[in-house]
């Protein structure tokens, strides 16, 4: 079956612009995660969704970052007024259920470059 | 705060060698530990998941062990091949009073190169 998909695969934007990154999880997966991978920081957790609610937003680095999930499926990560330090690969993952024992399946990521 | 460390940061071996990648974590209160593989420009592929109650998992030429009390895991790759070249990431799901939500804490990775 189809895996986790993300779009766009690459995004170049100018400092100060807003960007939206999209994630389509595996069908039937109720848990969805956003992570960020940058050169200096490695892979970091951003936010977790269970269904359409986000019980853990502790990894969002600032209030310029927000995310939503609709229909228990697609999720959008929005970065407002982008800064150069936002340049990174943004990875989305999904898993079958809310327990902590489930394997997470990752998408290919969106490579964001802020000029 | 849970911290995950991977050693070595990079490893280059000739084809056919058996090798070990190391992962250590500071807090032994974990739900599980996962090993991932990441190819350049690609996402992560889950290789093995070890539940906290387990000691090891095997898949083909890969074997991962977990010693929760000492905060260590190893990934053993037998008879390495050039196609094994990738970055290997170790990640744990911390136990946080039952509300960890499954979020992964990653190590920095080991870059493996297997040359013919």
- Of the given ranges (A17-21, B19-23, B59-63, B96-100), which has the lowest mean pLDDT? B96-100
Residue B20 token pair: 């070990």
Q: How confident is the model at residue B99 (pLDDT cuts 50, 70, 90)?
A: low
Please say whether the beta carbons of A111 and A89 come within 8 A. yes
Q: How confident is the model at residue B98 (pLDDT cuts 50, 70, 90)?
A: low
Distance (Å, whole) CA A91 – CA A35: 5
Instruction: List the one residue out of B22, B91, B28, B33 whose CA is nearest residue A91.
Output: B91
Cβ contacts of A24 on chain B, cutoff 8 Å: none
B42 touching chain A per CB within 8 A: yes
Q: What is the pLDDT of residue B28?
A: 87
Q: What is the pLDDT of residue A1?
A: 55
**A37-86 pLDDT tens trace:** 998 778 999 999 999 999 889 999 999 999 999 998 999 999 999 999 99
Distance (Å, whole) CA A106 – CA A86: 20
**B49-94 pLDDT tens trace:** 998 889 999 999 999 999 999 999 999 999 999 999 999 999 998 7
Cβ A106–B106 below 8 Å, yes or no?
A: no
> Average pLDDT in the B3-10 region?
95
Please say whether the beta carbons of A38 and A102 come within 8 A. no
- How far off is chain A from B49, nearest CA to CA, in Å? 7
- Looking at chain B, which residue has its C-alpha nearest residue A92? B43
Q: How confident is the model at residue B11 (pLDDT cuts 50, 70, 90)?
A: very high
- How far off is chain B from A63, nearest CA to CA, in Å? 20
Distance (Å, whole) CA B16 – CA B81: 6
> Average pLDDT in the B2-26 region?
96
Q: How confident is the model at residue A97 (pLDDT cuts 50, 70, 90)?
A: confident
**B72-82 pLDDT tens trace:** 999 999 999 99
Distance (Å, whole) CA B46 – CA B35: 6
Is B1's pLDDT higher than 60? Answer: yes
Q: What is the pLDDT of residue B31?
A: 81
Cβ B100–A100 below 8 Å, yes or no?
A: yes
Is B4's pLDDT higher than 60? Answer: yes
- The alpha-helical segments, DSSP class H, found in chain B are none
Please say whether the beta carbons of B110 and B7 come within 8 A. yes
Please say whether the beta carbons of A114 and A86 come within 8 A. yes
Q: What is the pLDDT of residue A82?
A: 98
**Mean pLDDT over each residue of chain B, to the nearest integer:** 92
Positive/negative CA dihedral, A79, A4, B102, B93: negative
Interfacial B residues in 48-77 facing A (CB < 8 Å) = 49, 51
The partner residue sitting opposite A43, judged by closest CB among B42, B46, B89, is B89
- Looking at chain B, which residue has its C-alpha nearest residue A104? B46
Cβ contacts of A59 on chain B, cutoff 8 Å: 103
Is A99's pLDDT higher than 70? Answer: no
Residue B5 token pair: 């460390």
> Average pLDDT in the B16-25 region?
97
**Mean pLDDT over each residue of chain A, to the nearest integer:** 92
A34 touching chain B per CB within 8 A: no
Mutate: best of A3, A100, A106, partner B, most B CBs <10 A: A100
B91 touching chain A per CB within 8 A: yes
Please say whether the beta carbons of B22 and B10 come within 8 A. no
């Amino acid at each position: 079956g189809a895996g986790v998909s993300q779009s766009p695969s690459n995004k170049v934007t100018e400092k100060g612009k807003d960007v939206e990154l999209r994630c389509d999880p595996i069908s039937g997966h109720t848990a969805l995660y956003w992570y960020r991978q940058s050169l200096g920081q490695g892979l970091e957790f951003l936010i977790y969704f269970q269904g359409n609610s986000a019980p853990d937003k502790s990894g969002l680095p600032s209030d310029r970052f927000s995310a939503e999930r609709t229909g228990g499926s697609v999720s959008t990560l929005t970065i407002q007024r982008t800064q150069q330090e936002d340049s990174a690969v943004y990875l989305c993952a999904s898993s079958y259920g809310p327990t902590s024992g489930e394997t997470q399946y990752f998408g290919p990521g969106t490579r964001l470059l802020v000029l | 705060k849970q911290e995950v460390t991977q050693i070595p940061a990079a490893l280059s071996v000739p084809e056919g060698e058996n090798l070990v990648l190391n992962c250590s974590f500071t807090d032994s209160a974990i739900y599980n530990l996962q090993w991932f593989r990441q190819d350049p420009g690609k996402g992560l592929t889950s290789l093995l998941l070890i539940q906290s109650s387990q000691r090891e998992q095997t898949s083909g030429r890969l074997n991962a062990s977990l010693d929760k009390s000492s905060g260590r895991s190893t990934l053993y790759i037998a008879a390495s091949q050039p196609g094994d070249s990738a970055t290997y990431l170790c990640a744990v799901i911390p136990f946080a009073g039952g509300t960890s939500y499954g979020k992964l804490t990653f190590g920095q990775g080991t870059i493996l190169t297997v040359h013919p």
